[in-house]
């Protein structure tokens, strides 16, 4: 049987090396999104909004393709920026995974003590 889940927990941050869970309709976790310069965030938001409006069927195909291309370029600019930056402390994933001796998979989450910073 095919697993079909539309849970928001299936969506993860698109930044390289980040596995933080984000809600449906989000691309990056809050930490990575806020670490983007305002110009990149504004371009990403504007092109995404235009692409969503173009999907409603009232836009000519050529215009839809152009708008989607602009959105893809804005996304790629954000991704390129994030891949060149060091990961901000607030965007470090709060989990780790590895293997236990014998090959069994082990995953766990880090817990921060009150007042402790990553």
Pairing between strand 95-99 and 105-109?
antiparallel
Q: What is the mean pLDDT of residues 87-105?
A: 52
Q: What is the pLDDT of residues 4-56, one digit of tens each?
A: 555 545 788 888 888 788 877 888 888 888 889 999 999 999 999 999 888 88
Q: What is the mean pLDDT of residues 79-97?
A: 66
Q: What is the pTM of this model?
A: 0.64
Q: What is the pLDDT of residues 101-118, one digit of tens each?
A: 555 554 544 444 455 444
What pLDDT score was predicted for residue 6?
Answer: 53
Q: Is the pLDDT of residue 93 over 80?
A: no
What pLDDT score was predicted for residue 100?
Answer: 52
* Integer CA distances (angstroms), 56 to 5, 38, 53, 60, 103, in order: 24, 28, 6, 11, 49
Q: What is the pLDDT of residues 55-77, one digit of tens each?
A: 887 888 899 999 999 999 999 99
Residue among 77, 100, 47 nearest 108 (CA):
100
């Amino acid at each position: 049987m095919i697993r079909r889940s539309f849970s928001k927990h299936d969506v993860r941050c698109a930044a390289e090396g980040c596995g933080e869970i984000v809600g449906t309709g989000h691309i990056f976790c809050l930490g990575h999104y806020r670490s983007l310069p305002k110009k990149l965030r504004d371009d990403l938001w504007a092109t995404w909004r235009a692409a969503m409006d173009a999907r409603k069927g009232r836009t000519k195909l050529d215009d839809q393709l152009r708008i989607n291309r602009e959105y893809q370029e804005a996304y790629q600019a954000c991704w390129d920026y994030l891949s060149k930056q060091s990961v901000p402390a607030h965007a470090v994933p709060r989990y780790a995974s590895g293997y236990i001796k014998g090959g069994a998979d082990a995953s766990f989450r880090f817990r921060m003590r009150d007042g402790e910073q990553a």
